[in-house]
Amino acid sequence: MASESREMVLPLYSTLVRSHREYCVQLWSPEHKKDMDLLEQVQRRAMKVIGGLENLSYEDRLRELELFSLEKRRLEGDLKGRYLREDGEGLFIRDYSDKTRGNSFKVRECRFRLDIRKKFFTVRVVRHWNRLPREIVDAPSLEVYKTRLDGTLSNLV
C-alpha cells in the first residue's frame, strides 16, 4: 500500500469516515468487544496509510497524530452529552451528598439486574462523570468544557 501524507489522509479520514462512524454514537454505541474491534480496525487501517509512521505502534501513531482511540472518543462523546443535559430532561438523578471531594454535580449511580440496561447512555456515563475533576464540570461554557475534557482525556492511555 502506498504511503500518503498526513495532510491528505487526516482531513479525508475525519470528513468521510469518522463523521459517519460517530454519528449519534451515544445512542447506538456498540456493546460487544468484537463490534468495537471491527470499528477500531477501520481507524487502524487509515493510520497505516500515513507515511513516516510505519515503525510506530497503533497507540504511538494516535499520539503522534493527536487522535483518540474509538473507545476514548465514545467516552468523550458520552461526557459531552452528559454536560449538555445538566439542567436536564429528567435523565439523571442528582446525588445530593455532603461529600467534599470530587465535583459538585455528582449523579446517583443506580443498580440494575439486567446487563442490557448497564449499556444505556444514562447508566454507562455516570461513573465517568462522577470521577471528573471540579474544574471540568464547573466549566462556564461548552467550549471551555470541551477544551478541559480533551486535555484530561489526552493524559489517559
**DSSP characters for 64-111?**
HHT---HHHHHHHHHHHHHHHTTT-SS-S-B------SS-S--B----
Q: List all residues 6 or more positions away from 88 whose beta carbon is below 8 Å from its beta carbon.
A: none
How high does pLDDT run on average in the chain? 78
Q: pLDDT, tens digit, for every residue of 116-157? A: 777 777 778 888 888 888 888 888 888 998 889 888 887 764
Indicate the SS3 state at residue 50.
Answer: strand
Q: How far apart are CA 82 and CA 65, in angstroms?
A: 27
Q: pLDDT, tens digit, for every residue of 80-93? A: 887 777 655 555 55
pLDDT band at 102 (very low <50, low <70, confident <90, very high): low
